[in-house]
Amino acid sequence: MVHELSKKEIVKEIFKSGKDPSYFINNYCKISHPLKGSIPFKTFDYQDDLLKDFNDHRFTVILKARQLGISTIVAAYVVWMMLFHKDKNILVMATKFSTAANLVKKVKAIMRNLPPWIRITEISVDNRTSFELSNGSQIKATSTSGDAGRSEALSLLVIDEAAHVEGLEELWTGLYPTLSTGGRCIALSTPNGVGNWFHKTYTEAELEDNDFKPINLPWDVHPERDQAWFEKETKNMSRRQIAQELECNFNTSGETVIHSDDLELIRSNIREPKHRTGFDRNYWIWEEYREDNTYMVVADVARGDGADFSVFQTFKLETMEIVAEYQGKPSLDMYANILNQVGCEYGGALMVVENVGIGISVCEKLEDLQYPNLYYSVKGTHDYVESGVADGMKNVIAGFTTSSKTRPLIVAKLEEFIRNKLINVYSSRLHNELTTFIWNNGKPQAMRTYHDDLVMSLAIGCWVRDTALTINQRKMNYQKAFLDSMIMSTTKMSTQIPGQKGYDRDYEQKAAKQMSEYQQYSWLLKG
């Protein structure tokens, strides 16, 4: 027999429920179970923590796995908010109207199953789109393509499956002012790659760079799920599906060029630079020049429209360790002077400048400054030519040329270097760019509104180190071996050719001539 509450007890329970949403939900709310039907809502610890966060923080961003009951706990919280507070205006938004409407449906279902003494029976509006109580509190469902909420003050904005909403950056700009009077926002979603509003908002929240409280709820927060459940659930799922549906892994859920495991390794190696210097303090140094090392500086020049950055990285060639990095927006002349100075500080490092567009102007400025070790290549190729040799050649160009055809090859070399752990990266700026560097219709590029200047500089560095310099070294080794074999040969060749003037010289004379010829190729043996 169900105990009927007295009026005094009802008043007490109403006050108690109004102060504590968790108490209210666990004692008076029911939910629909697919097998058991209508059952009391008994929250798990992580759901109770969510309710507390909803009350303690105006803005909450929830990175979640599937089937944790997060939408249901949000619906129950909305019921509590509407019942115990007058004139609350709540908007549920999703990329599909059906998704938003489904949450409103859950709110209605919980509301219908409340005890009569706590339920507001008078409902002024009740349709598929909206639901309004006689105390003035209301909830509406809308798709992101609609205009609901743009011109009214909101008490609570719920963005369901936020990672899947196209153009949410622009939508948020319009919706944020509607929360200016103290309104709250709950954004929840499974991950859907990187670079979207949800990913950006969550990662910034982790760094405390915005007003959102970040909450991470992977599959194993549910107390009834263990490893056996996970293995059964993932038996027929792809790696991306597992990351998206269960693991809350942004990187693996998307189409990032660099694998998530490699990105995580890079992240774990991030460290603060030893120095932050330069006119804009954007020049980061992890290690100064050492005489026993050889260096290469790789530079990518901004387009000139102010939308991207001029960057460079200084590599220690022996280990492909990035010992210095710059990212900024200096003038072309200033940038060329910076490169000249940095290159000289690192022992006349090989200077590789991307020469597409206005990058050629920087190359020309470095030539004017008589930088001693500028990278040249044969036109139409990536064949490396040293500065001293390029002076006498007509078909060479200063700098490194990237094209639509070679870009994927360069990026592939970058991925190979990172995958095989052939490069050491310490920069948080570079790591951030790598996490938003994706395959877009088969093309490797930064996600919209993000940058890939440091990534491309790194890719060029990997390519030059592994191809141009390697090939050139092979040529040098071959020439040296060939010439050495000529010098060291003890075989005397006949110099008497009938009908012609011969080269009747003894071995010592011939060796001297060969040594002289050898000196002509000294540039091949530089270093």
For residue range 322-337, list pLDDT tens digits in order.
999 999 999 999 999 9
Q: What is the 3-state secondary structure (H, E, C) of 370-413?
A: CCCCECEEECCCCCEECHHHHCCCCCEEECECCCCCCHHHHHHH
Q: Report the candidate in 204, 199, 193, 149 with the shortest Cα–Cα distance to residue 171.
A: 149
Is the per-residue pLDDT at 65 higher than 50?
A: yes
Quote the pLDDT of residue 445. 86
Backbone angles phi, psi at 120, to 5 degrees: -85, 110
Is residue 258 helix, strand or coil?
coil
For residue 33, name the pLDDT band (cuts at 50, 70, 90).
Answer: confident
Residue 294: both structure tokens together: 């050889």
Is residue 250 helix, strand or coil?
helix
Quote the pLDDT of residue 521. 38
For residue range 455-487, list pLDDT tens digits in order.
999 999 999 998 877 655 544 454 445 455 555
Identify the DSSP state of 354. B
Of the two residues 360 and 477, the one the predictor is more confident about is 360
For 153-306, list the strands marked E by DSSP: 156-160, 184-189, 212-217, 275-277, 283-285, 295-300
Burial of 279 (0-12, 13-18, 19+ CB in 10 A): exposed
Is the per-residue pLDDT at 526 higher than 70?
A: no
Delimit the CATH 3.40.50.300 region(s) of the chain: 17-253
The stretch 69-75 carries a mean pLDDT of: 94
Is the per-residue pLDDT at 249 higher than 90?
A: no
For residue 520, name the pLDDT band (cuts at 50, 70, 90).
Answer: very low
Is the per-residue pLDDT at 498 higher than 50?
A: no
Of the two residues 285 and 194, the one the predictor is more confident about is 285
Do strands 350-353 and 295-300 pair parallel, antiparallel, or not at all (unpaired)?
parallel
Quote the pLDDT of residue 525. 36
Using CA atoms, how far apart are residues 418 and 324, in angstroms rounded to an integer?
Answer: 18
Q: Report the candidate in 445, 451, 447, 460 with the shortest Cα–Cα distance to residue 433.
A: 451
Quote the pLDDT of residue 490. 44
Q: Report the candidate in 184, 2, 6, 176 with the shortest Cα–Cα distance to residue 81.
A: 184
Quote the pLDDT of residue 524. 37
Q: Report the candidate in 79, 137, 133 with the shortest Cα–Cα distance to residue 103.
A: 79
Q: How much is the pTM?
A: 0.57
Delimit the CATH 3.30.420.240 region(s) of the chain: 266-469
For residue range 89-139, list pLDDT tens digits in order.
999 998 888 888 999 999 998 998 898 888 775 666 667 778 888 888 999
**The listed CATH number (2.40.50.140, 3.40.50.300, 1.10.10.10, 3.40.190.10) that belongs to domain 17-253:** 3.40.50.300
Residue 125: both structure tokens together: 């509006």
- Classified by CATH at the fold level, domain 266-469 comes out as Nucleotidyltransferase; domain 5 (3.30.420)
